[in-house]
Chains A and B, each alone.
Chain A
Amino acid sequence: MMMNADLRRERAAATFQPELLTHILDGGAERTRRRKEIEALVINDPDFQHEDLNFLSRSQRYEQAIRKSSLMVMKLREYGIADPDEIYWFKRICLGSFPEPFGLHFSMFQKTLETQTTDAQKEKWLPLVHGVKIIGTYAQTEMGHGTHLRGLETTATYDPATQEFILNSPTVTSIKWWPGGLGKTSNHAIVLAQLYTQGQCKGLHAFIVPIRQLGTHEPLPGITVGDIGPKFGYDEMDNGYLKMDNFRIPRENMLMKYAQVEPDGTYVKPLSDKLTYGTMVFIRSLIVGDSARSLSRACTIAIRYSAVRHQSELKPGEPEPQILDYQTQQYKLFPLLATAYAFHFVGAYIKDTYHRISGDIHKGDLSELPELHALTAGLKAFTSWTANAGIEECRMACGGHGYSRCSGIPDIYVTFTPSCTYEGENTVMMLQTARFLVKSYTQVSSGQQVTGMVSYLNDLSRQRIQPQHVAARSVAVRINDPVSLVEAYKARAARLVEAAAKNLQAELNHRKSKEDAWNRTSVDLVRASEAHCHYVIVKLFTAKLAEISNAAVRAVLTELCLLYALYGISKNTGDFLQAGILTDAQITQVNQRVKELLAIIRPNAVALVDSFDFHDVHLGSVLGRYDGNVYENMFEWAKKSPLNKTEVHESFHKHLKPMQSKL
């Protein structure tokens, strides 16, 4: 079919080559080539074809997902794809917006066994895991316990007589709840439980627990396991529950690389438990990247559709304009587009930093870890909150059709939104970052210098000596210069960190306990963390510009970077005004400049989403199709809806007809 004329015009008018930007996002032209090659393997493979998942019941969707998961295992092996990035490319084109029930097997289950087992345990379990002779998951969260790990209630009591652990779920709140793949798929689970030996509780430890019979897949005696029921999204995933009643496992099933229980029940303490930090940092950094990608997909759909959709009139007597020509529509979408780019660069930065220092971590040098840990916690929360709201805004910007499942945005939203909760609840994450910020502030106050992203706090003491400093700053901000805007964000972060730290101190002075004072300051602390993360993002985006060699691409990214920074100011004017960083007049200029940038970015909007280079199969959206033939395909899609299977629905015979004949 021909490409929609509006989109053709949009693409012809772009001032840069989208492929060049794609290469930057992929990390080089060669990587783009390889990614496309891998995607083609899936797209051209008839085995991966299936009906639109939106037309299936949950049980059917689960079945499809299992079919695909199993196929992927085989095909990846067949093609010899083993690089993590390449596996990721293969899987995401295969899964679209959806999770896979084997997800936890290949991530947490395998990773935990690789890192927390003894050599003997590795020898026994890893071949089974790699060969998918067993399927496992990771059961930590309980119905009544998530954030506060020490509060988990599941127990593992050592019985020296039989050299076994006895696992129990003593209360309803202690039932394991939520682990992916637990309900129906897995036959093993790593279970976190409070270890009791020789009458003493030794805290949380990990155990390998078989839960289903190999061969029949029936739950083992003493195990109650099942699916936790329907959710907002994740229909493919059998998030499960697990209840254990005096379930016995051999002593060797405790993961013993660090802590150990000897045959007689003697407990041997671990040396250090900081190493688990690294995994968390890694997983949270993935969420930052995922925020970028999910938001990018929603932007692609909303912007392409806004170029195809015509509505109302801008000029009397003229044809209906593309809705993308309305200022209000641009104001909804372009700041999100800029945000998506910002998050891409931040995600890449965190990933690189993690890889750079993970060598040190393995050597036991943890010096850079606290800052990276604090930074990823905050950025995970900041980016997932922003992307979550942004995806919703994109859906809203598509009007009624955005609400239809055919738009694909509902699926992106419901799949993405739990990332605000999992791997660290966002508010809790922000408070962890705040703890680091307050600590750094306290160091500075006591005369020590701090390094890294928080080094701006060092300036605070200087400002106190020169009271004019802050006021003088306001005139200095140049609103067309990203570097100057980084300074403005820095000043805002410094001011909010200082305010939160001072409020905390004031609460402490009111004879409050440390915990009360912290709690009574937590709203301020979250604001401080947000301002810090916002600063880091503007800084990283700005730094990225210098690395871009192609002038046309650099120009358009500079516009996006400016829009990102200025829009952020216009949404948080209170902070900038109150701190005296910007004047009323400058705020008015900022607001004006944001609107000018919308008009400047407008001609490149479609090319900027094309650069994300999402294949239609991955996008899974009728509204966001590359060719823009939206309406014809909506009709084709609707005809396949389950309600349309028969021309006269059975409800007519069951209910309508009897009613009409009775009345």
Chain B
Amino acid sequence: MALTETGKYSQGSVLGSVNPDIASERQTASFSVEKLTAWLDGGAERTRLRRAVVEAIERDPVFSRENQYFQSQNESYEAAVRKAVHLQKKMHEMGWTDDGPEFKYIYRALSGDLAFLLHRIFIRSISVLGSDKQIAKWIPLATQYQLIGSYAQTELGHGTYLQGLETTAVFDITTQEFVLNTPNISAMKWWPGDMGRSATHTVVFAQLYINGKCYGLHPFIVQIRSLQDHSLCPGITAGDIGPKMNFEHIDNGYLMLQNVRVPRENMLSKFCEVQPDGTYVRRGSQKINYFTMTTVRISLISDEVVIPLMKACTIAIRYSVVRRQSKLKPREQEAKILDYQTQQEKLLPQLAAAYAFYFISDYLQELFNRGYREIQRKNFDMLPELHAFSSGFKAMVTQYGTSAVKICLQACGGHGYSLLSGLPSLYTKIFASCIYEGENTILLLQTARFLIKCFMAASTGQSVPPSVTYLAAVTPEKCPAKNKLDFLSPDIYTEAYQHMAARLISSTAAKLQDLIQSGVKKHDAWNQCTVQLAQAAKAHCHYITVKNFAETVEKLETQPGIQKIMKHLCDLFALHGIFSNAGVFLHDGYVSGAQMDMVTASYLDLLAVIRKDAVPLVDAFDFTDKTLNSALGSYDGQVYQRLYEWAQKSPTNKQMSPAYERYLKPLLHKTLSKL
């Protein structure tokens, strides 16, 4: 890349050719990238469809994300609205539908930078919680964008604990209306997306009062802005909650209600109804509500965690074969940074985790589909397990994924810190997933509650769901591995994970019982064990992830080329977990000190093996350059040229800053006192 002629800088002539340092990585792939891509997509036909959708989106300049990193909050919001509006047109043109197979690919191509995502939740909540009559009235209006909806649950002072929400809805029998109020500043609705500027309507969760009696939380459809001129309706105070770490394109909002009246028919009444005389009627089972949360948590794992993690790995690994720094051998050229063991040890386990979570997300989806079929047959038996799974995995995967993206960011040195690397925005976005749809610690404790219950049941011989039968299984006292190669056997490491998870769950259960028997109140005992309980829940999810990865690899026997590399990744994922959590495996002597040295040796050996296929393994994720939107991660590896050209487009270079005339010049000429 010797660019001695100045002209070449602006022409960008190297763009278009592939950097030889990245090209050479692709020549030695041990497997067919195209085959792996097709397998990940679920068949070559799906790959074709995905590429067609992505191409259609990317060819349309309205959807361009090139200036994304230069935008102010106002500009981002406007762009998101513009894209969302344009997308309606586009979908109509292309014949795509909201519930068709394309939507997921559209979302992927746009990286979710789109307004009206809460509008979709608005629609979903009416479909699930509304009566047939309500559905008939509101859904057509919403799908045709005659109104824009949001979903207002969280309040300034209340998130996790729904019973604590303070917004009230008092039934007024004389006018047949509900009167909604925000009694306190902490009761203000806070955070709902699309609510700050866009929404005309929102579903508000409020404590229902009839004749002075509180009936708990219920959903109400409330109009907040005029359909004519978009001004706020009487009694409504609403606006944007201000800048955040990311999601600047979304107008997360606040909402204050002062004696806002809505007709009786606006309470969503599939399960509960207030009759004209004020009689409160409950009907049907609300268990299905749980199921909605489960759906959201499971789909979030793939859309908001696995995809960003795959992107981060793609960027960091491609950059690490282009970036050369220091020398591994004297007299040789500076080495690619991916050739350093420490760099491999940062990035390759994250790559393995991206694959592991991709597979666990499939597994959860399948489990969910099975559960859904049962529920349609009015069998709710699977609900507790589904709920526990979706909570625990949401927590474990978002937390792991966030830390993995952070590692990718930090592994790119200074350039990773530039927004143009794409990594900071991936990080700040994935980070939010640890909080929304259930704070992670709370979710892990929900899973732990389920595990403790199952453990108690299993130890008294009662039947438990298949995923937790291992809690009662008899396993060997000691890990049988004799040399480092034994640790490349999935049976060996899966069993080690199983043993470790079962031990953590049983010892926590025992501790809880001890405390209760010694006279500690149940809730106090629970609080005293929560650190351990959260750890046990994570261990359970880690075990299932390893086991599922191993089973996925086993099923690949028809594709030996892919199977081999997937096996390496599975081994790496498992051994990395043992290596980084050595204490819990060593604790009761299941793994001995000598065996831990074997784990470390095998683990480090694997890094060098996977290193050779690292670039093909990220190529297989098949992200276009526009989707990655990264100067460091593009397919052609022309990192520096792209970075240089892109930086010159920054507004700080294009607009004249008044800073010099106003401040620097007077300072340099010592006339600042005139300021």
Contact = CB atoms under 8 A, between A and B. Distances in A.
A507 to B, nearest CB: 11
B254 A638 contact: yes
Nearest to B247: A403
Contacts of A392: 406, 431
Given A421-B413, A638-B241, A651 B81 contact: yes
B518 interface: no
Interface string A320-359: 1000001111011000000000000000000000000000
Contact of B328 (A71, A516, A652): A516
Interface string A102-122: 000000000000000000000
A262 B154 CA distance: 73
- State the main secondary structure of chain A at its contact with B: helix
Contacts of B326: 147-148, 151
B640 A642 contact: no
B648 A226 contact: yes
A238 B240 CA distance: 29
Interface string A403-438: 111100010001001101110011100010000000
Contacts of A420: 410
Interface string B566-597: 00000000000000011111111100010010
A311 B251 contact: no
Interface of B: 1-4, 6, 9, 69-70, 72-74, 77-78, 81-82, 85, 88, 144-146, 148, 154, 156-161, 164, 185-186, 188, 190-191, 196-198, 227, 229-232, 239-245, 251, 254, 323-330, 334, 339-343, 345-346, 406, 410, 413-414, 416-420, 424, 431-432, 434-436, 439-442, 445, 521, 523-524, 527-528, 530-532, 534, 581-589, 593, 596, 604, 640-641, 643-644, 646-653, 655, 657-660, 662-668, 672-673
Contacts of B188: 631, 635
A141 B418 CA distance: 15
A273 B440 CA distance: 52
Interface in A264-317: 309-316
Given A63-B662, A170-B2, A229 B668 contact: no
A577 B435 contact: no
A431 B647 contact: no
Interface in A621-663: 631-632, 634-635, 637-644, 647-652, 654-660, 663
B386 to A, nearest CB: 23
Contact of B531 (A74, A595, A660): A595
A325 to B, nearest CB: 8
A58 B334 CA distance: 36
A231 interface: yes
The 10 closest A-B pairs by CB, nearest first: A574-B582, A573-B583, A643-B240, A641-B242, A229-B650, A232-B424, A312-B161, A574-B583, A227-B652, A148-B326
A663 B655 contact: no
A465 to B, nearest CB: 22
B659 to A, nearest CB: 4
B640 A183 contact: no
A226 B435 contact: no
A230 B70 contact: yes
Contact of A311 (B158, B527, B586, B596): B158
B523 A314 contact: yes
Interface stretch (A90-98, A172-180, A248-256): A172-180
Contacts of A572: 583
A575 interface: yes
15 contacts: A63-B662, A74-B672, A226-B647, A230-B420, A231-B424, A314-B527, A422-B414, A520-B604, A574-B585, A635-B254, A638-B241, A641-B239, A652-B197, A652-B230, A655-B85
A420 B74 CA distance: 32
A123 B436 CA distance: 61
A526 B343 CA distance: 12
A427 B340 CA distance: 11
A515 B328 contact: yes
Given A172-B640, A427-B343, 20 more contacts: A70-B663, A71-B672, A143-B643, A146-B413, A148-B327, A184-B659, A227-B647, A229-B647, A403-B245, A417-B410, A421-B414, A426-B410, A522-B342, A631-B185, A641-B242, A642-B72, A642-B243, A643-B242, A657-B230, A663-B144
Contact of A577 (B2, B74, B527, B586): B586
A329 B442 CA distance: 11
A519 B340 contact: yes
Contacts of B239: 638-639, 641, 643-644
A403 B432 contact: yes
B645 to A, nearest CB: 10
A484 interface: no
* Contact-size category for A: 35 or more
A567 to B, nearest CB: 11
A418 B414 contact: yes
Contacts of B582: 573-575, 577-578
A144 interface: yes
Contact of B436 (A66, A132, A400): A400
B329 A515 contact: yes
A62 interface: yes
A146 B412 CA distance: 12
A663 B88 contact: yes
Q: Which of B239, B659, B666 has the most CB of A within 10 A?
A: B659
A73 interface: yes
Nearest to A629: B185
A327 B69 contact: no
A447 interface: no
A642 B419 CA distance: 22
Interface in A364-423: 392, 396, 399-400, 402-406, 410, 414, 417-418, 420-422
Contacts of A67: 659, 662-663
A584 B640 contact: no
Contacts of B521: 315
B595 to A, nearest CB: 10
Contacts of B69: 229-230
Given A230-B650, A326-B530, A403 B159 contact: no
A410 to B, nearest CB: 5
A417 B417 contact: yes
Nearest to A310: B157
Nearest to A639: B239
Contact of B527 (A133, A327, A635): A327
A597 to B, nearest CB: 12
A216 to B, nearest CB: 9
B329 A173 contact: no
Interface in A575-632: 575-580, 584, 587, 591, 595, 631-632
Contacts of B652: 58-59, 62, 183-184, 226-227, 229, 238
B531 A643 contact: no
A651 B78 contact: yes
B399 to A, nearest CB: 9
Interface in A119-153: 132-135, 141, 143-148, 151
A57 interface: yes
Contacts of A639: 239
Nearest to B413: A421
Given A59-B655, A73-B667, A396-B435, A146 B325 contact: yes
A400 B413 contact: no
A222 to B, nearest CB: 10
B477 to A, nearest CB: 13
A656 B435 contact: no
A20 interface: no
A173 B1 contact: yes
Interface string A181-203: 00111010000000000000000
A231 B640 contact: no
B85 A656 contact: yes
Contacts of A644: 196, 239-240
B190 to A, nearest CB: 8
A97 to B, nearest CB: 14
A62 B659 contact: yes
B449 to A, nearest CB: 14
